[in-house]
Structure 1
């Protein structure tokens, strides 16, 4: 057997197998990309499908609303003459429906029903002049009448044709949404459409993907294969699967291309290798073998290029080229494994390796190092609002700016060695640089970075509100190992964020003491007996006439081991460690138990305000506990106003809304506390059934400047439009109270009104003053 044939037999399976493995790797990577792209496209299609459905829902809701607020339906309901109502006024109702539906060539119906489901009026925009109300609409009306809500949306089938129905219970006197006490006398207004655009797109999707769009309650997203879902109604979802046949069609071109490429590349590689072997393995090969052996043994780093035109010379040239390429590839791979691909600076791995080496050199030379841990403020907002492309541009621009600052530091000639910059993850960066005796390098660089981005970060023509929060830790003052140094700087950075972002915090041992204090508070909260250590004080809230109409229960904790602990310290610890229920339930029981004593002082109409943790609104347990508390103490729910902070709807808005609605249905009053402290969404005032909005003290303090007064006036007008009382917190003097009265504030609370005191002090004052106003009490108890 010739040497060429031997080489062919060796080369053929290796090359083919290698190319097959490469092709399979590429195939599975691209297959996953194609599948993810199809899923993303399907998700967008489902969103468009939901949008079409929402448009029909909005159409039916607006049709009922416009007819309800207009004169035609109101006149129709109130007209006693059946003949006149059916002809003249009924035509006006029909004209209103036709006007609102103008241009929409589709089925539209409108019905007015009595509470017993008898049909007073029905109009259907269809080809059937003698049409009667579909059974699906009657079923929807019956479900609303028997239920507890004021309105409903239903997607039902009418003789095989889908029908989207909106139904509302309306008070026949005021023509507004019927309350619970008005349901028995309410009338039913109902509109329905056939969602043709929705159904057409649904059919198009089914034809395109070869799978039916499933519309049902509570679709299972795992196990049943739904890759894209859309919530049509709170109780109704639509979902679609990607069939294997559909995906196979998308994968087939890729498979054929890679297969052909694999074969072509395999034959080309084999042909080239056979050609090189045939040209280079004849003749004397001992010298070349020796040199190659030396390279493999590490006795030399490279191969010399051999001169001449013989086979061995050409083989030497090719081997040298392959060797150099391998070294270059190895260097590139090593560089890639150590470099952040987006910014081009060191990644966490390289930062750890080089940082550890810098620490060892500094320790030997008895020098100091500073580590700056940098986090970009508001970066998540940029990513979520402007997209990841904008976020990547911000990261690159930030890196370039920091490089310029570090280059200035190196140019000053104060650094013993150049600073080390790395991107650790996401929007977190770190800088390790040596300290000098005359200048605090870390503090100086940090100050320059914060100042550079104080007014935001400019990327092209755009300016993003991105700033930097920086924590600084020093070796060996704060830590003796690199891992500990990063941890200290990280904690200092979070302290800088807590102070107000866009700032610098230097690590100190006080951090450890603060963390130890939090651990002590957590331990004491777990083991304490609330009856022994907790107590309540009450702060009166007065009306514009100075009469006490409400009292807020405030928790105080006197620990035998920790002393007096402020709510600002232990409430966040309780919420972060799932201990809030223990605190809230004690406060609720104790405060409800004191209500009768407070009402004996201020009158039976006094409302007691009790704070509950926003975390309580994640389950219905707080509703059951509150109902049990008022039942046990024999008080009315309407005398209790539960206060939640404005952050309560941020993490789980749907669940929080359900719990808040349950509390409202149980008869409790609801108050939004600390409005304007930084997280406020006006949507909460508009969407949630609030009775009171309490303005934060910092917002109230702005009453003394013109812009602040105008803003407060607008906020109070908005609250009044939603039938909410407005309480001003932090009222410290009569001048502030008078200014708040001028902009329409209803109630006032603060040390300038009355300080919080135990219930016994309020009761003893009431016994001597005889249900005093708050102005009288200030003279008795003290201001």
Structure 2
């Protein structure tokens, strides 16, 4: 979309909306003004109407008072001769009353009405000689008697539509005064009725102007309509006028049309003017600049020739400068995008590009491609312990040596092919091998790379315990694209790590099955029913005198889906996925629940060892959790030993050491499990806040070899000098037990004494052990008896 069109699409709607908003504001202001003006006009007319009504009401009241107090009326009411009263006295009343009714109304009537609602006398001043008293007038008089209202006034609407103001006054025939409310039987209603001629004329004019409705009410009411008014006619009579909604709508309609047309015309005029100005001074110069910039980018000319001194001209010169900078930056950024900044090796993106290209060539030509996935073992330990500067220097040194080695190997012969080393992330590298003939070339290069770190990694900054784990995947056997090869080589690399690190592993279907097995274990751990699938076994621990020192709680898992799953399989996965916390807490609760039975079987002085993940040392409230569990079962902390693997020493931090100190503060004993499998020195380990060191089975096997036996006693003595007890794990023969006891080992643990057993099996083991001890004691006693 061109700039002109975009400007039109932006400007026209904005102008249109702006003018419409202005028109709308004007409309609302004018509407409010019209409504206020008409409201005031209506109020004025109703005020005039109320004044007209007041004149009639005053006249009726005065008229009624004059009639009620006149001598002629009194004589008429006291006269008993009906014929005389109607002829002689009636004529005098008419003559007297006629003087009061001139020019007041088209219809003025005076009547006397008895208690039964019948007229005794009626006189009307009207142009119609046949007009009679209406039934409504009589009904109103009768209502006054029934309501015992001594004086009342009302506006009646006759069948002709005329309004009639009727006022009653009750007089006692005997006293010619107002009767008592409860003695109206000798009373008569003196009634005056006045037709509201002028008032009706004004009402008709209001209807003609406003339409709508006229409503009488006895009380003043709140109006729900925005445009209405009401006036008080009598103390208990109000007239409300509600104009027809079309009265205001008709006045506003023409104004709406005028404002809308004016807004549209102004919008169209301003839009045309603005579009011409924008095209003349903005879009046309921009089009010229765009054309010249395009020619520069496509090499059709060397520079932008726009020479104006306005903003477009300055923009053109800035574009020229920016183009030169971008061209330089492009070359540098492409290098950075394809090269790792630390090691200057190809990065992951560049490696993927090269791999995709070579895999396509290999696929077309039926060639082999190998991928080596390399991970530096224990690099995190070096990085955390010695600092990132040492870690970065080690990575750079390794990248340089590995690149030189690969180049040297590939240059030996054209059949060796080519190798590209890349850094994928952190301490992970990859080698792409292509163009080789010998199928053993990937393994050969992997072996040569392992030789770089066979005794740890040594360079100018020192010697560090870093080795390599290398996984190999081959095209097309192990994958048909780079994603599959990377994934499978990564799987093989983890297999090398699991097998002990510092070795090479090839991807295979067995590895794939193992990876699937690990995924299944991870999934089942997330939905595991702890009480139904997990259980504890207990392995006895024997002291140097052959007595039971305690036992170790070992976790076992019997999955209904996977079958029996060994702890070596699922515990690392639980730690890796963050599920270790729930498992550890279940182990603590269950083992503490079993402690009383264990003491009953093995003795009250035993120590229960519980294996926990070293990651628990980073949980802030773990010590509080242990305190709560000990209080729950009522067990002293001194008989509980918490075992942490040696790796916690490698990952030790202030936070972990503080947690160990708080656990020991509770009275718990802390033991280092599986010592000898990692890279932590004995001097480092004995500095940690622990109570016991448990020597791993593989470490024991190396120490009891004839060449290494002289190291066994000093290691144990060093631990004793630091106040640490020593337990040897994996003892399976009497010879091993004798050597370890002779070297000063405090406790022994292994299948020589007892395998991990559930409580029922442990009970049987205890019984058999006691039986063996009794038998051994009898064999000792029997020879003594013979000598005696």
TM-score range, shorter chain: 0.5 to 0.7
Residue in structure 2 matched with residue 406 of structure 1 by the alignment: 407
| Structural mapping, 1:127-166, within 5 Å | none
Residue in structure 1 matched with residue 728 of structure 2 by the alignment: 728
Residue in structure 1 matched with residue 493 of structure 2 by the alignment: 493
> For residues 745 and 421 of structure 2, what CA distance do their matches in structure 1 show?
54
CA contact (8 A) 2:729 2:750 kept: yes
Compared CA separation, residues 570 and 710, structure 1 to 2 (3 A)? same
* Deviation by residue 1:732-778 (Cα, 9 ceiling, x = unmatched): 1111111111111111111112222222133245457659769979x
What secondary structure sits across from 2:414 in the alignment? coil
CA contact (8 A) 2:589 2:629 kept: yes
Residue in structure 1 matched with residue 338 of structure 2 by the alignment: 338
Deviation at 1:377, TM superposition (A): 4.4
CA contact (8 A) 1:395 1:427 kept: no
Residue in structure 1 matched with residue 608 of structure 2 by the alignment: 608
1:545 aligns with 2:545: yes
Compared CA separation, residues 464 and 540, structure 1 to 2 (3 A)? closer
CA contact (8 A) 2:731 2:737 kept: yes
Residue in structure 2 matched with residue 555 of structure 1 by the alignment: 555
Compared CA separation, residues 485 and 518, structure 1 to 2 (3 A)? same
Residue in structure 2 matched with residue 595 of structure 1 by the alignment: 595
> For residues 450 and 685 of structure 2, what CA distance do their matches in structure 1 show?
36
Q: Structure 1 stretches of 5 or more lacking a match? A: 1-291, 302-322
> For residues 394 and 633 of structure 2, what CA distance do their matches in structure 1 show?
61
> For residues 429 and 571 of structure 2, what CA distance do their matches in structure 1 show?
32
Q: Structure 2 stretches of 5 or more lacking a match? A: 1-292, 303-322, 780-788
Deviation at 1:646, TM superposition (A): 2.5
> For residues 668 and 449 of structure 2, what CA distance do their matches in structure 1 show?
51
> For residues 775 and 538 of structure 1, what CA distance do their matches in structure 2 show?
25
TM-score, normalized by length of structure 1? 0.53
* Deviation by residue 1:12-61 (Cα, 9 ceiling, x = unmatched): xxxxxxxxxxxxxxxxxxxxxxxxxxxxxxxxxxxxxxxxxxxxxxxxxx
Compared CA separation, residues 439 and 512, structure 1 to 2 (3 A)? closer
What secondary structure sits across from 1:532 in the alignment? helix
1:626 aligns with 2:626: yes
> For residues 549 and 708 of structure 2, what CA distance do their matches in structure 1 show?
27
> For residues 419 and 764 of structure 2, what CA distance do their matches in structure 1 show?
69
* Deviation by residue 1:63-117 (Cα, 9 ceiling, x = unmatched): xxxxxxxxxxxxxxxxxxxxxxxxxxxxxxxxxxxxxxxxxxxxxxxxxxxxxxx
| Structural mapping, 1:62-461, within 5 Å | 334-335=334-335, 337-340=337-340, 344-377=344-377, 385=386, 388=389, 391-392=392-393, 395-396=396-397, 398-399=399-400, 402-414=403-415, 418-434=418-434, 436=436, 438-455=438-455
Deviation at 1:705, TM superposition (A): 3.6
> For residues 683 and 775 of structure 1, what CA distance do their matches in structure 2 show?
45
> For residues 512 and 478 of structure 1, what CA distance do their matches in structure 2 show?
10
* Rg (Cα) greater in structure: 2
> For residues 393 and 547 of structure 1, what CA distance do their matches in structure 2 show?
51
Residue in structure 1 matched with residue 171 of structure 2 by the alignment: none
Compared CA separation, residues 756 and 294, structure 1 to 2 (3 A)? closer
Deviation at 1:568, TM superposition (A): 0.9
* Deviation by residue 1:146-187 (Cα, 9 ceiling, x = unmatched): xxxxxxxxxxxxxxxxxxxxxxxxxxxxxxxxxxxxxxxxxx
> For residues 467 and 766 of structure 2, what CA distance do their matches in structure 1 show?
54
Deviation at 1:524, TM superposition (A): 2.0
What secondary structure sits across from 1:648 in the alignment? helix
> For residues 364 and 746 of structure 1, what CA distance do their matches in structure 2 show?
68
What secondary structure sits across from 2:555 in the alignment? strand
What secondary structure sits across from 2:648 in the alignment? coil
Compared CA separation, residues 774 and 742, structure 1 to 2 (3 A)? farther
Residue in structure 2 matched with residue 524 of structure 1 by the alignment: 524
CA contact (8 A) 1:537 1:553 kept: yes
Instruction: Give the RMSD, CA atoms, in angstroms.
Output: 4.0
* Deviation by residue 1:227-250 (Cα, 9 ceiling, x = unmatched): xxxxxxxxxxxxxxxxxxxxxxxx
> For residues 748 and 356 of structure 1, what CA distance do their matches in structure 2 show?
57
Residue in structure 2 matched with residue 483 of structure 1 by the alignment: 483
CA contact (8 A) 1:435 1:442 kept: no
> For residues 529 and 451 of structure 1, what CA distance do their matches in structure 2 show?
47
Compared CA separation, residues 431 and 774, structure 1 to 2 (3 A)? farther
Deviation at 1:607, TM superposition (A): 1.9
CA contact (8 A) 1:709 1:743 kept: no
Residue in structure 2 matched with residue 47 of structure 1 by the alignment: none
Deviation at 1:538, TM superposition (A): 1.6
Compared CA separation, residues 426 and 560, structure 1 to 2 (3 A)? closer
Residue in structure 1 matched with residue 698 of structure 2 by the alignment: 698
Deviation at 1:457, TM superposition (A): 5.8
CA contact (8 A) 2:381 2:650 kept: no
TM-score, normalized by length of structure 2? 0.52
